[in-house]
A and B are shown apart, each in its own frame.
Chain A
Amino acid sequence: MAAHVSAAVNEELNYLNWQKGIWSWLTSTDHKRICFLYLFTILLFFLAGGVAALLVRTELAFAGPTIITDPHTYNVLFTMHGVFMIFLFVVPGIPATLGNFLIPLMIGAKDVAFPRLNLFSYYVYVIGALIGAIAMFNPVDTGWTFYAPYSTTTGTSVSLMVLAAFVLGFSSILTGLNFIVTIHQLRAPGMTWMRLPVFIWASYATAVIQTVATPVVGMTLLLIIAERAFGAGIFDPSKGGDPVLMEHLFWFYSHPVVYIMVLPAFGVVGEIIPVFSRKPLFGYKMVVVSSMAIAAVGFIVWAHHMFVAGISDFSAKFFSIVTFLVAIPTAIKVFNWVSTMYKGSISFKTPMLYAMAFVFLFMVAGTTGIYLAMLGVDVYYHDTYFVVAHFHYTIQGGAVIGLIAALHFWFPKMTGKMYNETVSKFAFAALFIGFNLTFIPQFILGMDGMPRRYYDYPAQYQTLHTISTIGAYLNGFGYTFALVNLLWTALFGKVKAPRNPYNSHSLEWQTQSPPIHENFAEIPVVTEDPYSYGTPTGRGH
């Protein structure tokens, strides 16, 4: 006990150094250390998925075979890119890393509700990742969607890959469950629901989707295995099954999953913008309500992925109209962020640049989403590069930029060091320009009728494809530069971070940087909301 009592007084002792050795990290039930376990693992798959994407883009740089000699390898590569990025990188992305690190700190708790379960879900994730790695010996060529009947008949190791996705889903469920219970039960005295930071609200909405949607896809994936193993006749039409049923069940999870990816990023941006605008978050209650509304409406829009799959006219109309509804809470959020910046005292630090890029990119993603929700337009755009570009604006421009923004914003708290602003702004510029250079041409390609997942194309698409490939390399360079900069600073950086470098009001900044093992020397008592910047009652300026 003596060691922990002295931890409260000794500023040198923190969660990073109170126990030493690799084993103390791998077996740690401390939510802050588990954040790093996840972070390094998911970034490994970000790298693998990124390399697969660059290989795909290199192949597409010129018409005809470029570096890949057969279409099957091409199919394998885009499947690897999709599976790694979706199941192993973006879904655990912000929740498992920063959600883990921040939720207890932001609500004033010592840890999540079930610390052992938290470590267990990390190892479930690792097992899922290993199964996926074994599946790579006979790599899957179905695309990340595993559509039947191709997935039930192809000779590649689909069974292992969907088993991997099932196990990863189990990890995601346990993390979500842990967060819901934590937010319900462990808020510090005075931390009422309406005083919760918006990141907590976003994480809560995310956790609800994780818990409710994931079991559905899990079972669907097991049924694919049953279909392959003994021909259960559920999805394969040649055995009397219904492939559209499989698509329904798949998208019942896989549409809400894009909100699992992007809602935490909404939360991150909601934290960054008020701090660097020195103004209270505009319309806090509406931000909260819109997060929960997105989670709720997100559950009844799934079949907009299936407008050309042979669903009835009635259901197509229903899902089209409900999809338009998602635009309302999403637009409310954009208005809130912009109104927060309006007449604020804005400082363009790196996290703020990423947050503003997020708002811009997400507006493009949302607007093009409206195009795709329209029945007539979707019939034309379906399965073209327009969809690919829309999706990447949402997921990369939204979720991944959100993760990078969060890593920069909370970096001083996580590592106790300050990174170099100039270097990270340079990385941001490369990343932002590269991203748009990659995907703006893809919108145009899609409008011109270039179908997705094609190995080759006619010469008329040449120029745009080449520009897109150049953008992809610049984008990849930006990510590498930004992340290596952070890693280098964490390991060798000399500039120590103060307790609260941005003069933020939320709880995680009130404890030392990096925090002690138990987060707070004493459990804080909360007396005001976290965004009272520049108001008469608010602390600071």
Chain B
Amino acid sequence: MSAVAHPIVDHNVPAGEPPHIHHMDPVTAYGAAKLGMWLFLATEILLFAVMFCSFAIMRYYHLAEFHDASKHLNLWAGGFNTIVLLISSFTAAVAVTKAQKGDNAGVVKNFAISLFCGLIFLCVKGYEYSEKAHHGMFPFVWNSDFYHYKNFLGLYFCMSGLHALHVIIGMAILYWYGIRPATKGRFSGKYYTPVELGALYWHLVDLIWIYLFPLLYLVG
């Protein structure tokens, strides 16, 4: 116990905060944050896994209804949204590279495009939902003509609704941990963890849609 491995007093602690808040050196902190984010993404996938599993079982029980009901979804709107999300994921990836190079303006620009794409996605989703509501294929306004589509549509609204919620959360993260600090010039080649983690989360949101689209719109 003779050698002092780490100095106990961290002089980088901002005034007024307990010293243990910033008790990790930057390399450990980066590794910890990244591991934490990957674990969190794993829990998100498991959250959706329950609905994918339920979808498989329900489709097995109600194959004909699932097949017919899926034809009522707007294939063009779903396809358009897929492209929009793919573009947003691309710009999110570019933003990480920009941050690593210390280009804060680049982070703002690329994350802003991702945010805009997220907004378009939500608008199209809203249009699809309102169309369903209009035809009585929506929770609380179920039309008895579509009663036999209930199992498919119930899962459709649960899955796409939870995904839309994740898009909103993802947009908040991109703004709060990416754009806002970047406008203050916080990122550099030595510190870009929030941009990378935010982009990781956004990729997950995109990836889930990549599975939802064929499952709901194409396979049925």
Contacts and interface: CB of A to CB of B under 8 A. Distances in A.
A215 B43 contact: yes
Interface string B3-31: 11110110100000011110110001001
Size class of the contact patch on chain B: 35 or more
Given A177-B40, A229-B139, A523-B5, A245 B154 contact: no
A115 B21 contact: yes
A377 interface: no
B216 to A, nearest CB: 14
A107 B12 CA distance: 24
Interface stretch (A234-242, A404-412, A443-451, A480-488): A234-242
Contacts of A4: 8-9, 19
B211 interface: no
B64 interface: no
Contact of B20 (A111, A173, A212): A111
Contact of A177 (B24, B31, B36, B157): B36
B35 A242 contact: no
A208 to B, nearest CB: 9
B158 A523 contact: no
Contact of B155 (A214, A232, A517, A520): A232
Interface stretch (B48-56, B100-108, B166-174, B184-192): B48-56
A20 interface: no
Interface in A20-57: 28-30
Given A185-B35, A240-B62, A525-B5, A230 B139 contact: yes
Interface string A217-245: 01110110010011111100001111001
Nearest to B35: A181
Contacts of B21: 29, 111, 115-116
Given A186-B28, A226-B154, A245 B20 contact: no
B63 interface: no
Nearest to B15: A1
Nearest to B62: A240
Contacts of B19: 1, 4, 110, 517-518
Given A177-B36, A522-B4, A110 B23 contact: yes
B166 to A, nearest CB: 13
Nearest to A522: B4
Given A4-B19, A8-B8, A249-B53, A231 B154 contact: yes
Contacts of B36: 113-114, 117, 177-178, 181
Given A113-B36, A226-B154, A232-B157, A523 B54 contact: no
B32 A185 contact: yes
A110 to B, nearest CB: 4
Interface string A110-126: 11011111000000000
Contacts of A523: 4-6, 8
A119 to B, nearest CB: 10
B42 interface: yes
Nearest to B58: A234
A234 B154 contact: yes
Contacts of B43: 173, 177, 211-212, 214-215
Contacts of A242: 57-58, 61
Q: Chain A interface: which size bin?
A: 35 or more
Contacts of A241: 58, 151
A524 interface: yes
Interface string A167-204: 00000010001101110111011000000000000000
For B21, B28, B54, B140, the residue with the greatest tally of chain A CB atoms inside 10 Å of its CB is B54
Contact of B42 (A8, A114, A116, A212): A212
Given A177-B36, A232-B157, A525-B3, A219 B50 contact: yes
A186 B23 CA distance: 10
B128 interface: no
Interface string B100-124: 0000000000000000000000000
Contact of A29 (B6, B20, B57, B154): B20
A416 to B, nearest CB: 20
Contacts of B54: 223, 234, 245, 249
A17 to B, nearest CB: 15
Contacts of A116: 21
Given A189-B5, A219-B51, A234-B58, A240 B42 contact: no
Contacts of B132: none
A293 interface: no
A70 B144 CA distance: 39
A212 B47 CA distance: 10
Given A211-B42, A215-B49, 10 more contacts: A1-B9, A29-B20, A110-B23, A115-B23, A216-B47, A233-B154, A234-B58, A240-B62, A241-B58, A524-B1
CB-based closest 5 A-B pairs: A232-B154, A230-B139, A219-B50, A215-B46, A111-B20
23 contacts: A1-B11, A29-B18, A29-B21, A173-B43, A181-B32, A184-B32, A211-B43, A212-B43, A219-B49, A226-B154, A230-B154, A230-B157, A232-B150, A233-B154, A234-B151, A234-B155, A239-B151, A240-B62, A242-B57, A249-B53, A518-B23, A523-B8, A525-B1
